Amino acid sequence: MNSRTRAIVLATGLAVLAAVPPVAGLLNQPFYLDLVRRIMIFAIAALSLNLILGYGGMISFGHAAYLGIGAYAVGVLAHYGIDNGFLQWALAIGASALVALVIGAVSIRTSGVYFIMITLAFTQMLYYLGISVEEFGGDDGMRLAAKSQFGLIDLNDGNAFYYLVLAVLVLFLFLGHRLVNSRFGMVIRAARSNEARTRSIGFSPYPYRLAAFVIAGAMCGLAGALLVNHTAYLTPEFMNWTRSGELMFMVILGGTASIAGPVLGAFALLLVEDALSGWTQHWQLILGPLLVLSVLFFRRGLAGLLFGKNE
Amino acid sequence: MNNNLLEVRGLTKSFGALLASDDIDLEVREGETHAIIGPNGAGKTTLISQLAGNLLPDRGRVRFAGEDITALSAPARSHRGFARSFQITSIYRDFTALENVMLAVQAHAGSSFRFWGSARAERALQEPARRVLEEVGLGARTGLPGGNLAHGEQRQLEVAMALATRPRLMLLDEPVAGMGAEETQRMVGLISTLKGGKTIILVEHDMDAVFSLADRVSVLVYGRIVATGTPEEIRTNAEVRRAYLGDEVAA
Amino acid sequence: MDIVLVLEQALNGLQLGVMLFLMAAGLTLVFGIMNLVNLAHGSFYMVGAYLATYFYQLTGSFTFGALLGLAGTLAVGIVVELVALRTLYERDHLDQVLATFGLILFFNELMAILWGRAAIYATLPDYLSGHVELFAGVRYPLYRLVIIAVGLAVAGLLWFVVARTRLGMLIRAGASNRTMVAALGVNIRLLYTLVFGAGAALAGLAGLMSGPIHVVQPGMGELILIEVFVVIVIGGIGSIRGALAGALIVGMVDTLGRAFVRPMLATVLSPSAADTAGPALASMLIYLLMAVVLALRPQGLFPARS
């Protein structure tokens, strides 16, 4: 499939997303607005993960940490009465980047299984931290005192919030596209493809990987800021290790070889979850084996089906 | 004063009980093509890996252009002018031939902490890469993924990536391994065009290639250098004949 | 500080340590030999706990319940290996992580269907409850001592099997050189299934012993699994010795941290600040320890392959 058809597919997808609020309004089904908005937020998180997982080959099993940090940045500021959205989001991005820098600095020194286990463990540490801080609700979490305030844009308006999320998604798709095709992006992809060769031509992969890890964490932090506004509730469950696993599945289901793949993956996974859970309360009994089968037999992802192999 | 580009003193490396490099001394002169030969398991690749910085020696020093580089990493050596080809072809299989070489150019053309502009569209990377691909004879194959090239072409691509870093010293680990006669001839031709301009360390099993390319030859046996000399001297060196070449040369 | 309390907490730490070791041993062997990252290892812990509790209620005998629970977990482990994991050995770690993540969802939900989502409190028979007086004034729960004894006995048995038997020779060879073991004409598939089943049974043993101390509920396996990852990262992947050292270190640090960080902070901070920071710091302690170990020794304390 050539770049032109890909552009058409992408534009169609975005047009469909843009049409959700009026259609949901027309059908009087606000539930769908809510559902798609939630999926788009996770799509943002998944596409940030794909930068390091798909392009950088770093199998981070702890990406939910940054969802949590972004959410706590907003929630904690709101708790103390600071509801300026720009400030909140800047803190969400900055704090996520900082934590990613610390976690990345330790874990990128290792590789393979160590990296998987360490990223998982650090996120679990933050999860327990969230649970043990009673000031912010501990285990139970707490209600978001007020949604982020942006002056003109009112997040209490469901449609406005929806379009803001869509705008962030489109922006990140574009940023991600630029990033992976930049000099920097070529280096992290090269280091993934053949580390020995990359070192021999003169690149030391560590600083590039760390930078990618920080960028991905910061992007996911913003997704966390959106998520807590979406749920209007702050809870350590955002950092639950299963959330990290779900993000990985979104990336893999969608396909790692393109920027838009994880967005497809997020829609696929969350729509299936939604459908199954509407059908039976024991939906995980079906989802689990379904995921196993998808790993065993469906490795190229949805984007692979849709766009062919090349990026 | 001397004109040695590379000086190795007392290089020693063991893996458990196996002494892969045993007190190796080696001098490589600026501009020469220096071949290292030896039977299988003599420790040739181990030596090359220590020279390239992929492997740290247990003991010994490596000096390059007067500077002690023993502790430098492979990327750091690359920036001092080392380039390496691997015994087992090492390229980016999913990237096109042009992208492979462009990456090598990029590593030596300013900062790669650039996040915005398209690297593929950078003329400053493309043009040198295309030139090098022409030079090694892959000018018509630039758009093919590395993994789709023929074996011999992949070896040429590796040499191209080495060249693209504009090295002072090239470490070529069995560049004609696994090649047919025609491919071998093309590779030998390619290396001979580099001779003189670049200093080359060549590890090779193919004796015809070695004797047609090398200015000097060192013979490595069980991790020790047993002789160094011109191809003629090595050919006639009794110890070398006994230890290694045997009837192969006489035949 | 009260010496009796310290001793008691040290024994608790030892008890947690042997539990972690039982989990870590199987996980690290399966990784060392089959190169498989098995997230669902925690599921065997859970299955063991549920089965033993169920069979105890059914038979009225704690011992029978434990033995049946152990056998059941072994069987479940073997079935999982044959049905799902066998095809994953040759896949990359990402695929293994994702597929075994799917298995976790399945098992957690299966337990919820069979025995409900609510936590079950497993009971102890009379002869295992109560305390023993270790020496004058120091009383300690008998059951926890039994756990420590069983754990150390299993560690000894494991050492004997790995170091002294033909099977152990194959296991050690398999960890360092797969193709060589295959070349010896060993039925490698059978060896893999055996090792995997044994690892599952060890996890089941840990789970069924933990039942009467903690609660039995869906998802119980994952919480300990992540701690076991910390153990393995600290000890060095693929090394039984590392698993033992890591497990004891983590068990001690975690237990003593939870017991003493808050009182120690209270001596330098205000009580309310210590109440806030204490639990937070205590819960983070083993992860911080892991970070320090990694910074100093990225391959862990006892790397299996040097």
The model's pLDDT over A38-67, given as tens digits with 9 standing for 90+, comes to 999 999 999 999 999 999 999 999 999 999
Q: Are residues B144 and B116 in the same domain?
A: yes
User: CA nearest A124: which of C92, C42, B182, B65?
Assistant: C42
Out of B145, B166, B187, a domain closes at B166
Residue C93: CB partners within 8 Å, gap ≥ 6? Answer: A59, A112, A113, A116, C37
| Chains sharing 3 or more CB pairs under 8 A with chain C | A
For chain C, the 3-state helix, strand and coil shares in percent, each to the nearest 5, are 80, 5, 20
Output the domain CATH number for residue B67.
Answer: 3.40.50.300
pLDDT at B28: 96
By residue count, chain B amounts to 251
User: CA nearest C34: which of C91, C95, C99, C102?
Assistant: C91
Out of B139, B166, B193, a domain closes at B166
Of the partner residues A185, A197, A202, the one whose CB lies closest to the CB of residue B92? A197
Distance in Å, alpha carbon of A64 to nearest chain C alpha carbon: 15
Judged by CB atoms closer than 8 Å, whether chains meet at C237 and A113 is answered as yes
Q: Are residues B174 and B238 in the same domain?
A: yes
Q: Are residues B175 and B251 in the same domain?
A: yes
Q: Are residues B121 and B69 in the same domain?
A: no
Domain that holds residue B110: 92-166
Looking at the DSSP bridge assignments, the partners of residue B64 are: B6, B67
What's the whole-number mean pLDDT along residues A278-288? 92
Sheet holding B33-37, edge to edge: B82-85, B169-173, B199-203, B33-37, B216-221, B224-229
The 10 Å Cβ neighbour count of residue C195 is: 22
- Indicate the pLDDT class of residue B140, thresholds 50, 70 and 90: very high
Set of chain A residues whose Cβ sits within 8 Å of the Cβ of C230: 117, 121
Q: Best of A197, A206, A209, A259 to disrupt the B interface by mutation (most B CBs within 10 Å)?
A: A197
Report DSSP letters for B198-236, one per residue: BEEEEE-S-HHHHHHH-SEEEEEETTEEEEEE-HHHHHH
pLDDT at A310: 43
Out of B150, B166, B182, a domain closes at B166
**Mind listing the pLDDT tens digit of every residue in chain C (306 residues)?**
578 888 999 999 999 999 999 999 999 988 888 889 999 999 999 999 999 999 999 999 999 999 999 999 999 999 999 998 888 988 899 999 999 999 999 999 999 999 999 999 888 998 998 888 887 777 899 999 999 999 999 999 998 998 888 888 887 777 666 677 777 777 788 888 999 999 999 999 999 999 999 889 999 999 899 999 999 999 998 888 899 999 999 999 999 999 998 888 888 888 888 888 888 888 899 999 998 998 888 888 887 654
Q: Are residues B115 and B71 in the same domain?
A: no
The model's pLDDT over A235-244, given as tens digits with 9 standing for 90+, comes to 999 999 999 9
Using an 8 Å Cβ cutoff, are A291 and A246 in contact?
Answer: no
Judged by CB atoms closer than 8 Å, whether chains meet at A193 and B93 is answered as yes
Tokens of C118: 């609510």
What's the whole-number mean pLDDT along residues A275-303? 88
Residue of C nearest to A285 (CA): C106
Distance in Å, alpha carbon of A176 to nearest chain B alpha carbon: 10
First to last CA, chain C: 42
The model's pLDDT over B97-135, given as tens digits with 9 standing for 90+, comes to 999 999 999 999 999 999 999 999 999 999 999 999 999
Q: What is the mean pLDDT of chain A?
A: 93
Q: What is the mean pLDDT of chain B?
A: 92
Q: Are residues B4 and B74 in the same domain?
A: yes
Q: CA A106 to CA A118: how far, in whole Å?
A: 9
| Chains sharing 3 or more CB pairs under 8 A with chain A | B, C
Q: CA C274 to CA C47: how far, in whole Å?
A: 38
Q: Best of A55, A181, A186, A209 to disrupt the B interface by mutation (most B CBs within 10 Å)?
A: A186
In a domain, B19, yes or no: yes
Q: Are residues B209 and B249 in the same domain?
A: yes
Q: CA A135 to CA A138: how far, in whole Å?
A: 7
Give me the CATH topology for the region A3-307. ABC transporter involved in vitamin B12 uptake, BtuC (1.10.3470)
pLDDT at residue B248 is higher than 60: no
pLDDT at residue A306 is higher than 80: no
Residue of A nearest to C237 (CA): A114
Set of chain A residues whose Cβ sits within 8 Å of the Cβ of B91: 194, 197
Q: Are residues B179 and B201 in the same domain?
A: yes
Judged by CB atoms closer than 8 Å, whether chains meet at C291 and A106 is answered as yes
Set of chain C residues whose Cβ sits within 8 Å of the Cβ of A132: 279-280, 282-283
Judged by CB atoms closer than 8 Å, whether chains meet at B122 and A183 is answered as yes
> What angle, 0 to 180 degrees and rounded to 10, lies between the N-to-C axes of helices C271-296 and A85-107?
40
Classify residue A117 as exposed, middle or buried by CB count within 10 Å of its CB (0-12, 13-18, 19+): buried
Interface of B with A in 176-235 (CB under 8 A): none
Distance in Å, alpha carbon of B227 to nearest chain A alpha carbon: 29
By residue count, chain C amounts to 306
Q: CA B46 to CA A254: how far, in whole Å?
A: 42
**Where are chain A's structural domains?**
3-307
- Indicate the pLDDT class of residue A301, thresholds 50, 70 and 90: confident
User: CA nearest A208: which of A188, A193, A189?
Assistant: A188
Q: Are residues B41 and B158 in the same domain?
A: no
Chain C interface includes A42 (CB < 8 A): no
Of the partner residues B102, B108, B111, the one whose CB lies closest to the CB of residue A202? B108
How many structural domains is chain B composed of? 2
